Amino acid sequence: MIGIFDSGLGGLTILKSLLRELPSYDYIYLGDIARVPYGSRSFDTIYSYTLEAVDFLFKKGCKLIILACNTASAAALRKIQQEYLPVKYPDLRVLGVLIPAAEEAAKMTKNGKIGVIGTEATVKSETLKYELIKQNSNLKVYQSACPLLVPIIEAGEMRWIGLDLILKKYLKPLKEKNVDTLVLGCTHYSVIKKEIAKVMGSKVKIVSEDDIIGFKLKNYLSRHPEMEKKLSKKRKRYYFTTSYSQNFTKVAKIFLKMEADFNIVKL
């Protein structure tokens, strides 16, 4: 079983990508709607919340978990991999979404100037910037925190007229730096990538994690057959949330592109 965790519903775009590329596997999705957004919280709090989610998914039978949340990946993944897994679950794995995005952006840029947008915690951690420069030390990376976007998207207000004004405000500093590649450092942003692309202009390439995680995981499993053998393949899907938000069903369908029955759980 493969677990997918996000602070809210944005990770459903990653699940959709996995279902497209790897449909035969069993999946469990967990969205921590009760505590979304994570982006304005302390790193210690994000780590604590993420650890609770990881524990829940492992106890449900997951052998591999994807943190489909850039904030959780930035604030908690390394510590979970280095300190928690070796002690509690040495044969299981937790992966993030930041490194695949960094790899793709580093390959795509022509002028070496890359923009990153994300939550306050993701930007503050500078994890994506670090991963990009690790790919190529000559890259220039410019970041912009976008604290209002996740609440707007979780509320289902993607067609709100004010969104365009907010995007212009957040993206202006990156346009002024003449970036030719923009990393959407939050899985929520994929549902407004057309709006983001419109503001940035046709010359800027957009790196959206839902476009790449599916084939990246397929590649990972081909390189780690010992993990691939542990994963069940009965095409089962389970959906969990810690709360129902307003417009929950409508927003979930927008992300996943199909209906899904969610069960409420307490972490």
Residues that are catalytic: 69, 186
CA 141 to chain centre: 19
**CA dist., res. 148 & res. 93, Å (int):** 32
DSSP string covering the chain, please?
A: -EEEEESSSTTHHHHHHHHHH-TTS-EEEEE-GGG---TTS-HHHHHHHHHHHHHHHHHTT-SEEEE--HHHIIIIIHHIIIIIHHHH-TT-EEE-SHHHHHHHHHHH-SSSEEEEEE-HHHHHHTHHHHHHHHH-TT-EEEEEE-TTHHHHHHTT-TT-THHHHHHHHHHHHHHHTT-SEEEEESGGGGGGHHHHHHHH-TTSEEEEGGGTHHHHHHHHHHH-HHHHTTS--S--EEEEES-PPTTHHHHHHHHHSS---EEE---
Q: Please enumerate in sequence order all residues whose Cβ is within 8 A of that of 109, keeping only pairs 6 or more positions apart, or say none.
A: 139, 180, 181, 205
Alpha-carbon torsion angle 116, 119, 122, 125, nearest 10: 100
